[in-house]
Structure 1
Amino acid sequence: MGTKRKERSVNKENVLTGYMKRVAIAIGAGLLGFGIGLFAIHVLIQPVFPLGDATRPQKSPPLTLETPDLRTDVDRFLEQYGPWLSANEVAALRMHSGVRNLAFLRGDGNVAYAAGTADFVPAPPWTVSRPPEITGVAVSGTSVTIRDNRGNRFTLNATQPFVFQTQLGFAYCVDQTGEIWSAPLAALSFGPADLGVGSDIAPNPALTGSY
């Protein structure tokens, strides 16, 4: 009986020892695999994707700031339909016949003249108009005087296109009978204002300029 008990005890110890060895081997293999995984992350992934590296300087994404367009509608108009004549060039216009340069009628009563103009024919896109900006018209030969709703008086030539500062989308002109015509600016073709073209328009020493 004593011998059998000893054999059973030895067998149990052998089984327990074998089990513990297998557990130890499994734990060792797991630790080895975990170590290999950390090594792979550090060597292969870390240089490309710095995981958790708060000390390494990170490049900030480039900032793309849009520059706001601070131009007004008047600025855009002057840019699109320029260049514009200087004060000396405007003074010289008064001595020439056939002056039909596009005129820009400012709200303060001054007038700027472009180097270009648009043709006028009493047909579309030009149509007879009664714009609220114009409160009176007087014609003397080929000279026309226009009074606006701000109390300003402008002297231009007959069929000379002009634009009000308060109505930048339309061009107007007054023919020799005193009829007012208008056309959308976008519908007109602009070209150089050749002096002498339209010799029926006499020199106008009263052309309004800038003061």
Structure 2
Amino acid sequence: MGASFAQGTKAAAAVASTSPAAKSSEGKVVLVLGDSLSAEYGLSRGTGWVALLDKKLAEEKIAARVVNASISGDTTSGGRSRLPALLAQHQPAVVVIELGGNDALRGLPLELTADNLTAMTQAAQKAGAKVLLVGMQVPPNYGADYGRRFSGVFVDVAKANKAAVVPFMLKGVADGPDATRMFQADRIHPTQEAHPIILANVWPELRKLLK
């Protein structure tokens, strides 16, 4: 997601090293394909959930490294167009897809979001990677029916393609007792304090895929 869609063309600054030496010494690759929620928008570098994931892997002594290919403002269509080159370059063992929030902000058809998520999931699986879809929910002002159908897209695509899923990446952040304090001034992007909670939501499902 992005407070300003002008950020949409800004490449993520947290992309891990891709040198042959790094590949051989650091084990399997976890590729994160996301938007500003994964690209550390408005945060100090190294404090977002993806950076925390890299540290978690080291703490758990799991031979894997993270490649963060997230771009602020990206949609599922943008991710779909970028994914083939990323798969060829990094040959990931696991692909984490955290996209869809900007589709909703732009009013894109749910069918398009579902089609793009399906295409990305299948492309990653065809390349030999396991897939984790990280789902999102929309605010109540979008309407109960739309909100239910939007959040259901991630679960439905995961189920249809035998992929893993985290239904709501902001569980305990957006729906917690102190939700206002967990967001930056734009009320869209979580604060640094929220990102350990996001990682805690993602980690259980991701860990299963790394076993």
User: Is TM (by shorter chain) over 0.5?
Assistant: no
**Larger-gyration structure (1/2):** 1
TM-score, scaled relative to structure 2? 0.24
- Greater strand content: 1
